[in-house]
Amino acid sequence: MQALAVNVGDLKKVMSNVKTRGILGEYQLENILEDLLTAEQYAKNVKTKEGSDDKVEFAVKMPASGDRDKPLRLPIDAKFPKEDYERLIIAYDEAVPDKIEICRKAFCRQYPQKCARHPGKALIVRKTETGLTSSVEKIPLAQIPVHDTLVKIEYSTLNYKDALAVSGKGKILREYPMIPGIDFAGTVEQTSSDKFKPGDRVILNGFGVGEKYWGGLSEYAYVNSDFLLKMPDGMDARKAMSIGTAGYTAALCVEELLSSGINNNSAPVVVTGATGGVGSFAIALLKQQNIVVSAVSGKAGASDYLKRLGASEIIPREQLMREAKPLETQRWGGAVDTLGGNALATILAECHSGATVTACGLAADFRLNTTVMPFILRESG
């Protein structure tokens, strides 16, 4: 009995491999068809849908009806979507209606065979007794938390949050294990949502992905379809992630400045963290609008780079890191700040009346020691 148990355990290990299970199933199905039908009654590796390159393993030729010239083909596939089935059973055990519905639709549709046969690689962060570990691993789809849309990821970007998540220096991750990556671009492989269909090109930024939901530093991701945007015409995944979350954030900041009335007649706009992703994009976007930009950086050798982007002057970061008075000499018509802390407090104290400040980061400090004076006396916002 002990030997039998060992053999059964070995067989279970073999059958847990999706590719092996598929090969065995295909072999057995072909034997069954050979026993029951003649060679003319079925075909192997058949395209059953016009305009599609997808093939089924076998198709049984059915008699044509009416005035059809071509015989009907009944597609038969040997593979059982074991992982989807197991997720469905778990959902029923947990008695979560929304999860049951998502898993049921996924089980009925089955995900593409290429995904099932080739588990994707991902950078995964785990919490251990001694701290955090991170490694690139093969992650079977069955292990990825289920949401209504499966995306084949082509590109992601490495953001400041991702660096904090992997290094453990910031309390970014809410769950473990976790795949970081707060953005990605790719193609929908499977969905139960009415908003998308397989083949749609999509982009994701934020929504807690890479923090509390498994993220973009992976080849595949299950995500909530509400988090996705259709990729604009003329853009591909590489271009989208060349812009990434940093460019998206910078664009939102610049849009807010422009909508508030910043123009080329205003005082300069100050951009902190200028060599970072948000800062660099913000400088370039402001320059396109003919707005004078003062770039703040702590990197001594960055002047040429920042001036090529469009900065008119380079300000050492130390000038803003001091403890500011409630009101300082007016300098700025607006700001894009990624530092927080004393830098943001100093900027607020130095803004002109009616200036707009967009604060989108806390690279220096999450605390803000300031007063209401700039908001009352200069109507900064």
Query: How far, in Å, CA of 246 to CA of 276, rounded?
Result: 8
Task: List the beta bridge partners of residue 228.
Answer: 204
Token digits of residue 209: 């992905």
Q: Are residues 253 and 324 in the same domain?
A: yes
Confidence (pTM)? 0.64
Q: Are residues 258 and 369 in the same domain?
A: yes
Q: Are residues 85 and 189 in the same domain?
A: no
Per the domain annotation, does 270 fall within a domain?
A: yes
Residue 324: pLDDT over 70: yes
pLDDT on residue 272: 94
Cα–Cα distances (Å) from 354 to 104, 150, 257, 347, in that order, read 55, 46, 11, 13
Per the domain annotation, does 135 fall within a domain?
A: yes
Look up the domain containing 165 and give its range.
111-235
Per-residue pLDDT reduced to its tens digit, 248-306: 899 999 999 998 887 655 789 999 999 888 999 999 999 988 999 999 998 888 888 99
Residue type, 347: I
Percent of the chain whose pLDDT exceeds 70 = 77
Of 209, 235, 261, which residue constitutes the final position of a domain?
235
Per-residue pLDDT reduced to its tens digit, 145-164: 778 888 999 999 888 888 88
Cα–Cα distances (Å) from 108 to 4, 21, 60, 85, 145, in that order, read 35, 19, 21, 9, 18
Confidence of residue 66 (pLDDT cuts 50, 70, 90): low
Residue the block writes with tokens 């068809």: 33
Of 235, 250, 282, which residue constitutes the final position of a domain?
235
Q: What total number of domains does the chain contain?
A: 3
Q: Are residues 84 and 203 in the same domain?
A: no
pLDDT on residue 373: 82
Query: How far, in Å, CA of 61 to CA of 74, rounded?
Result: 6
